[in-house]
Homo-oligomer: A and B are copies of this chain.
Amino acid sequence: MAKYLEVDNSAQAVIARINDAECTPRFRELMVGLIEHLHAYIKEVKLTQAEWEVAIDFLTRTGQTCSEERQEFILLSDTLGVSMLVDAINNRRPANATQTTVLGPFHVAGAPEREMGANISLDGVGESCLFKGRVLDTDGNPVAGARLDVWSDNADGFYDVQQPGIQPKWNNRGIFTTGADGAYHFVGIKPVSYPVPVDGPAGEMLTAMGRHPYRPAHTHLIVTAPGYQKLVTHIFVGDDPYIDSDAVFGVKESLMAPFRKVEGGETLWECPFDIVLAPEA
C-alpha cells in the first residue's frame, strides 16, 4: 500500500489510522464500513469540488435546522428510507404477528389513561371513527393487561404538539388497557394524510428528486404487555391516495385497515384491527 492517501488506496489509508488499542471493536466495525462506503461512493460518482461544497452546506444547514421542536436529520433519515430500514433490521417479527413501522417525531410520553371506549378527539373536529379489535398472542389467545398508547393528527393534518393553543392538549391521544378478553375499543377520528415539513433541507432534497412530501393517513400505536415484544406501529387508511408513495416509506401491506362507513351508528366510520404481539425472545 502507498504510504500516503491516493485515489486508489484512500479508504485503506484512513482505516489504517484506527488504533485498535483505543477503539472498541464495534466502533472499529462501524467506522471501517462507513469509510469504505463513503470513499467508494465518491469515486464511483466522481464527486466534483463544487458538489462536495454543496454537500457540506446541505449537511450544515440540516444540523442548524434542528431545534427542540424539530429534528431535520431524522426527517432526512426518514425520507431516505433509512429510519424504516433500521426499524426493519431491528424488529423482525413472526409472519403472523403485527409488524412494526417508524415511531415518527410526534409521540409524547405521558398521555392520559382513558376508560375503554372513550373519545380521544377532544376538539370534536373530523370524521369520527370507532377503532376496535383484540390484542392476541401468536397462538390467537387474548392478551390481558396490554397497554395501547395511540395518537394521530387532527382533521387538518396536524398533531396537537404542532398547534399548541389551537388544539387542546392531548387531542387525539390516549392510553387504553385491555381486560381478560384482550379486546379494545375507542373513538377517535379517521386520520388524514399530511405533508412532512418541506421548508428545510430535506424538503429541498424531495423537490430536487421530484418527490411529494405526503404521508398516507395513519393512526399511531405503541402496544406493550408483560412477556411480549414492544410493538411500535401504525394503522394505515388502506385506500389513501398516498398509500403507495409514503414520503417516509412506513407502509406495510399488513398494516392497512379497512375503514368502514357506519350507517346510523354513533361514529361515521369504524376500523376493525386486531393486534398480534410477538413473545419476548
| Partner-B contacts on A (CB < 8 A) | 3-7, 10-11, 13-14, 17-24, 27-31, 33-35, 37-49, 51-52, 56, 59-64, 66, 71, 73-74, 77, 80-90, 208-211, 244-245, 249, 251-253
Contact = CB atoms under 8 A, between A and B. Distances in A.
Contacts of A48: 86, 90
Given A20-B210, A210-B19, A39 B81 contact: yes
Given A4-B249, A62-B63, A82-B38, A56 B43 contact: no
Given A52-B82, A52-B86, 15 more contacts: A3-B253, A4-B251, A5-B85, A13-B249, A17-B209, A18-B210, A22-B210, A27-B208, A30-B47, A34-B41, A35-B80, A47-B89, A48-B90, A49-B90, A52-B77
B86 A47 contact: yes
Contact of A6 (B6, B47, B62, B88): B88
A29 B59 CA distance: 19
Nearest to A49: B90
A41 B33 contact: yes
Contacts of A59: 59, 62-63, 73
A247 to B, nearest CB: 9
A65 to B, nearest CB: 8
Contacts of A87: 49
A281 to B, nearest CB: 15
Given A56-B73, A85-B5, A40 B42 contact: no
Provide the main secondary structure of the chain A interface: helix
Contacts of A85: 5, 7, 10, 39, 42-43
Given A35-B80, A71-B56, A88-B10, A45 B29 contact: yes
B45 A14 contact: no
Q: Which of A13, A39, A86, A252 has most chain B Cβ within 10 Å?
A: A86
Contact of A45 (B33, B41, B82, B253): B33
8 closest cross-chain pairs (CB), A and B: A63-B63, A19-B210, A22-B210, A14-B81, A5-B249, A37-B37, A37-B41, A10-B85
Contacts of A37: 37-38, 40-41
Given A17-B245, A34-B41, A27 B89 contact: no
Nearest to A248: B5
A253 B41 CA distance: 26
A51 B245 CA distance: 27
